[in-house]
Amino acid sequence: MAAKTHLALLQEEPKGPLIVRSVPTVSPGKGQIQIKVKAASLNPIDYKQFAYAYVSDKFPYIGGGDLGGIVTQVGEGVTHVKEGDHVCNAVFNFIEPMSCSAFQEYSTCDANPAVKIPDTVSFSQAATIPITFYTALVGLCFPTLLNLRWPGDPFPTPNPTPILVWGAGSGIGRHCVQILKAANYSHIIATASPHRFNDVKSVGAKAVFNYQDADVVEQIQNYLGDEKLLYGYDAISTPASLVPLVKIISPGGTLATVTPQGQDILPFEGADIKRARTFLAVILKPEGRAFGRKCGEYLQKILEDGPYSFISYREFSGGLAGGGVQKGADMLRLNENHGDKIVIPDI
């Protein structure tokens, strides 16, 4: 009997064109599931890999880290999802085999971060969530990172400690604000472009500043007055965000970052401000798997019961062959998506 195959969108060589080709369909092993992908969304890592071979030297390369779909097979030991469940998942093709990636008809992936979605959530909506949500939650709550309140615990008393989220117009930053609000932090400060101010306030920020203002550092310092700022989450983590942040975070404070950039501005060791390097893939590693499952259970609960507010997104139709992945990657590279997720439905 001929081996099963399905279609994938792949790059055959570094920086090469994206083409649709048949690839083997893989059965799930221990701890894995197979998902019929229905929708996938793009993340910055996709354009970085397509354009600069940033993360992987494995070719043919299949991209995509966020997906929504239907479980078609369940591997040994997986109990929290079953065949037929509608799910979303974050997949990591730089750790897992390429058969996990989202830009293909079937993903065979680690089940740990997979979350059952209710009927009220579409596959496109589901595909906008996992990577940015989990990255926010890991940076905010993982014990070796900011180690802040867990949002699923009841905290009747608001916590007035100021916390700054830089880049709340990004997917990660907006999720940070939502999660902090759910943990009943009452003094969430954020930066974003003015067109995002109302949205960022609607999910929980008390004050929002325009990161493009030349005097944004002074504005935030004046706003804080004598109050210390001991917690920050830099959802951007480039020199453009780190330079102002090292002036705003108080000595002794901790800043969570999402890229390794700017070590000359804020080193990982030896500075007055501790740098908490957030690496989402920790949720697949032995030290982070239990935490990852806890994040998944929390996400499932808020998708079922609320509160959860979706990131705005644009759908590029035509499935894998429609050119939407390349168009979306170019938009992300040029920052022309203005914070919207790009979703490819109908895969």
Instruction: State yes or no: residue 236 binds ligand NAP (CB under 6 A).
Output: yes
> Kindly report the CA angle at 20 between 17 and 21, in degrees rounded to 5?
115
Contact region for ligand NAP (CB under 6 A) — 11-19, 84-92, 130-138, 262-270? 130-138
Tokens 């479980």 correspond to: 71
Single residue of 79, 120, 157, 335 touching ligand NAP by CB under 6 A: 335
Q: What is the DSSP secondary-structure string of 174-224? A: HHHHHHHHHTTB--EEEEE-GGGHHHHHHTT-SEEEETTSTTHHHHHHHHH
User: Which residue number, 38 or 174, has a Cβ lying nearer to ligand NAP?
Assistant: 174
What's 273's DSSP letter? S
Instruction: State yes or no: residue 244 binds ligand NAP (CB under 6 A).
Output: no
Single residue of 259, 309, 312, 326 touching ligand NAP by CB under 6 A: 259
Site string for ligand NAP, 55-74 (x = CB under 6 A): --------------------
Single residue of 89, 104, 241, 300 touching ligand NAP by CB under 6 A: 241
Instruction: State yes or no: residue 235 binds ligand NAP (CB under 6 A).
Output: yes
38 - beta bridge partners? Answer: none
User: Which residue number, 86 or 274, has a Cβ lying nearer to ligand NAP?
Assistant: 274
Cα–Cα distances in Å, from 173 out to 27, 63, 85, 237?
36, 23, 29, 11
Instruction: State yes or no: residue 196 binds ligand NAP (CB under 6 A).
Output: yes
Query: Least distance (Å) from ligand NAP to the CB of residue 7?
Result: 26
Residues 76-105 that bind ligand NAP (CB under 6 A): none
Query: Least distance (Å) from ligand NAP to the CB of residue 136?
Result: 8
Is residue 233 a contact partner of residue 139, using CB atoms and an 8 Å limit?
A: yes
Query: Least distance (Å) from ligand NAP to the CB of residue 332?
Result: 6
Instruction: State yes or no: residue 262 binds ligand NAP (CB under 6 A).
Output: no
User: Which residue number, 159 or 337, has a Cβ lying nearer to ligand NAP?
Assistant: 337
Instruction: For the chain, list the strands marked E by DSSP.
Output: 5-11, 18-24, 32-41, 61-62, 66-74, 86-90, 106-110, 115-116, 163-166, 188-192, 207-210, 231-234, 254-257, 274-277, 313-315, 341-344
Cα–Cα distances in Å, from 279 out to 150, 203, 301, 310, 334?
18, 24, 24, 23, 24
Q: Evaluate the CA torsion angle 174, 295, 112, 73 in order and state its sign.
A: negative
Is residue 127 a contact partner of residue 90, using CB atoms and an 8 Å limit?
A: no
- The three-state DSSP-derived secondary structure of 111-151 is CCCCEECCCCCCHHHHHCCHHHHHHHHHHHHCCCCCCCCCC
Instruction: State yes or no: residue 169 binds ligand NAP (CB under 6 A).
Output: yes
User: Which residue number, 74 or 255, has a Cβ lying nearer to ligand NAP?
Assistant: 255
User: Which residue number, 151 or 262, has a Cβ lying nearer to ligand NAP?
Assistant: 262
User: Which residue number, 121 or 331, has a Cβ lying nearer to ligand NAP?
Assistant: 331
Size of the residue set binding ligand NAP (CB under 6 A): 30
Residue number with the shortest CB distance to ligand NAP?
169
User: Which residue number, 4 or 195, has a Cβ lying nearer to ligand NAP?
Assistant: 195
Strand (E) or helix (H) holding 290: helix 289-305
Contact region for ligand NAP (CB under 6 A) — 129-137, 153-161, 267-275, 318-326? 129-137
Query: Least distance (Å) from ligand NAP to the CB of residue 306?
Result: 22
Residue 4 sits at φ, ψ, to 5 deg, of -75, 145
Is residue 258 a contact partner of residue 279, using CB atoms and an 8 Å limit?
A: no
Query: Least distance (Å) from ligand NAP to the CB of residue 51?
Result: 13
Residues that bind ligand NAP (CB under 6 A): 43-45, 131-132, 135, 166-167, 169-172, 191-193, 196, 211, 235-236, 240-241, 258-259, 278-280, 332, 335, 338-339
